[in-house]
């Protein structure tokens, strides 16, 4: 009989494989979620005014794409990373809350990479009816 070929060895090896699979399954959500501070400058806020060109209502994060203008006037599409659909639903926001063509203003944390057009959405207002979501602007008087 060769070493490590007994029944006990096979059971132990199977048990360890089962434990490792369990750890991988349980820790997958922890690895998948990230801090916004990894990609965005949380201490800064930029404002973008423009029209919604796309609204992706999906998990893990929803996205609002707004055609705005760069500081020097060139058109630019900004991708605003929002929150999960379950969090949006708790705030009364559904798939059809925003539509292509809605004129909006968004405030968000800029990307750490200045050439990246993604921002972290912190506040949004629709101009046509005053609907809004997010933090109140601190500099309003």
pLDDT digits (tens, 9 = 90+) for 72-124: 889 999 999 999 999 999 999 999 999 999 999 999 999 999 889 999 999 99
The rounded percent of the chain whose pLDDT value lies above 70 is 69
User: Rg of the chain over CA atoms, in angstroms?
Assistant: 23
Continuous segment of H or E residues that includes residue 9: helix 7-32
pLDDT reported for residue 26: 47
Say how many C-beta atoms besides its own lie within 10 A of residue 103's C-beta: 13
pLDDT reported for residue 28: 43
Q: Which residue is associated with the tokens 């760069």?
A: 70
Distances (CA, A) of 70 to 9, 42, 75, 77: 65, 20, 6, 9
Q: Among 122, 100, 99, which residue's Cα sits nearest to residue 109?
A: 122
Contact 57, 95 (CB under 8 A): yes
CATH number of 36-134: 2.40.50.140
- pTM of structure: 0.71
């Amino acid at each position: 009989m060769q070493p490590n070929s007994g029944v006990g060895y096979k059971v132990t090896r199977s048990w360890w494989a089962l434990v490792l699979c369990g750890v991988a399954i349980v820790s997958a959500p922890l690895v998948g979620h990230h801090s916004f501070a990894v990609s965005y400058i949380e201490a800064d806020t930029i404002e973008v005014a423009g029209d919604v060109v796309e609204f992706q209502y999906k998990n893990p994060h929803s996205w609002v794409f707004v055609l705005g203008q760069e500081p020097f006037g060139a058109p630019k599409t900004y991708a605003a990373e929002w929150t999960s659909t379950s969090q949006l639903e708790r705030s009364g926001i559904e798939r059809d809350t925003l539509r292509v063509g809605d004129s909006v203003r968004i405030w968000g944390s800029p990307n750490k990479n200045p050439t990246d057009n993604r921002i972290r959405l912190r506040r949004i207002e629709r101009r046509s009816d005053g609907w809004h979501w997010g933090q109140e602007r601190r500099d309003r008087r």
